């Protein structure tokens, strides 16, 4: 698939689970949008989905300027962006990755980022296949 000049590779097989379809669609849109925005144009984007131990693992990987290690947590805070991107040519509000974290956690899952010059940047989402037990869990918005 070609998108905005970047080659997008999708690996894995469909996985049936119990999730909020709209929330996960927005998660994928945010992650792919970030990979397109911040990835090196000549390198591709790899989306991988896998099922292990009753969990779904979704990763989005790109090559490009890494997120500094000391800022890996702050990119999940609302309206915060990596210092390397401030004042740059990329526009954004800094709400995409906080949404991704919130959606993952509301499904009983988690999100993490691995980013380095050598490996590139990979965002990993880990969700239980059946997120129904978490649908009524309290959230920050509910308090």
Q: List pLDDT tens digits, range 81-90.
A: 444 454 455 4
Catalogue the long-range contacts made by 65-68 (C-beta closer than 8 Å, 24 or more residues apart).
Answer: 65/38, 66/115, 66/116, 66/117, 66/120, 66/121, 67/113, 67/115, 67/121
**What are the structural domain ranges in the chain?**
17-132
In the prediction, which pLDDT does 142 show? 47
- State which residues of the chain have pLDDT below 70: 1-6, 78-94, 138-143
- The pTM score is 0.80
**Domain range 17-132, CATH class:** alpha beta
């Amino acid at each position: 698939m070609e998108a905005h000049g970047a080659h997008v590779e999708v690996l894995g097989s469909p996985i049936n689970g119990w999730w909020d379809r709209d929330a996960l669609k927005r998660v994928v849109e945010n992650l792919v949008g970030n990979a397109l925005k911040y990835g090196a144009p000549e390198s591709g984007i790899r989306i991988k989905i896998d099922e292990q131990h009753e969990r779904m693992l979704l990763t989005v990987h790109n090559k490009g300027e890494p997120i500094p290690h000391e800022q890996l947590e702050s990119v999940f805070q609302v309206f915060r962006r990596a210092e390397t991107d401030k004042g740059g040519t990329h526009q954004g509000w800094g709400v995409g990755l906080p949404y991704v974290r919130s959606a993952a956690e509301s499904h009983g899952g988690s999100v993490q980022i691995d980013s380095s010059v050598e490996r590139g940047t990979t965002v990993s989402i880990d969700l239980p296949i059946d997120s129904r037990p978490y649908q009524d869990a309290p959230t920050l918005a509910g308090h």
